[in-house]
Amino acid sequence: MYVLGCVDRGVGRDALERVVDRVVDRLAREGRVGVVRYDATIADGTHGSLTVGGDVTYGLGADGDWTASGTGMTVADALDSLATDCEYAVVVGLSGLRYPTLLVGDAEVDAGEADETDVIAVVDGPGDLEEDTLVADMHASEPHETLESFVDRVKRSPKADLAGAIATFTGRVRAKDDPDDERTEFLEFEKYEGVAERRMAALREELEARDGVLEVELFHRTGVVESGEDIVFVVVLAGHREEAFRTVEDGINRLKDEVPLFKKEVTVEDEFWVHERA
């Protein structure tokens, strides 16, 4: 699921909503759209409120007909919920997202927000939108994926009637190797552009060519991944558990060995590229 943030930079709520409506209408031509509206009067809009606290109302755009809200629900919770059903999500009213962001209005962006936000366009109103460029820029970004979204995807496979097993692997950021170690605050991943995608696609094709293997999903996040967050998913739909388990293990081992991804570890006292210490 591709995510777009829409933030008011001084035009007011009504003008922001007109732009959001235009964006949702355009994205709905490509697939199902989820809309998340963030209430900044309840939480302060910092990165921390993405994972703790906050009050979110979310609903399905396009052909959806329901909404839900509740204190304590987070933006991350809403995105995770929508990821199994939607191709796109639009988050309204929250700056500092680690997703492509559309700014509505020309108010100055402070340095801290610019560092945290991937601004792909600035418009004054819906008439300024370059819709096709916006969609292309979203597709060039990393999608929001969860283990559940991948499992749901393979369950919808045309081959699902032949499947008797789904096996998964989730890799996450470990805070410590040993109790006395310095705590890892986050990992940062960079990929060898173009090469990483080709090798991931080739690996997926090779795994799916195995006897008894029906569908394979592989995903590795890039950028900053904080302690306790998920990094990598391998999901295998197979006829039987033996080939499912074997393919999951081979998939994660080969992904780590063959796909060019570079990892920086940041602890409370140090930071370093892991391959330079290997």
Q: What is the CA radius of gyration of the chain?
A: 20
The residue with tokens 């996040």 is 221
Parse the chain into domains and list their residue ranges: 2-139, 147-277
CATH class held by domain 2-139: alpha beta
In angstroms, the Cα distances linking 57 to 14, 26, 82, 174 are 17, 21, 12, 32
The answer to whether domain 2-139 and domain 147-277 are alike in fold is no
Query: What residues does 261 pair with on adjacent strands?
Result: 191
Say if residue 187 is exposed, middle or buried (CB neighbours under 10 Å; 0-12, 13-18, 19+).
Answer: buried
Angle at 99 (CA atoms; ends 94, 105), nearest 5 degrees:
50
- Please tell me the predicted confidence (pLDDT) of residue 194: 84
Instruction: Summarize pLDDT for 45-86 with one digit per residue, the tens.
Output: 444 333 333 344 555 444 444 444 554 567 787 888 888 888
Model confidence over 82-106: pLDDT tens digits? 888 889 999 888 877 889 999 998 7
Fold of 147-277: Aldehyde Oxidoreductase; domain 3 (3.90.1170)
Q: Are 148 and 79 in contact (CB under 8 A)?
A: no
pLDDT at residue 44, rounded to an integer = 44
pLDDT of residue 115: 54
Q: Is residue 144 exposed (0-12), middle (13-18) or buried (19+ Cβ within 10 Å)?
A: buried
Q: What pLDDT shows up at residue 111? A: 53
How far is the C-alpha of 149 from the C-alpha of 157, rounded, in Å?
A: 13
Which segments in the chain show pLDDT lower than 70?
39-73, 107-117, 272-273, 275-278
Q: Please, which residues have CB within 8 angstroms of residue 194's CB and are 6 or more apart in sequence?
A: none
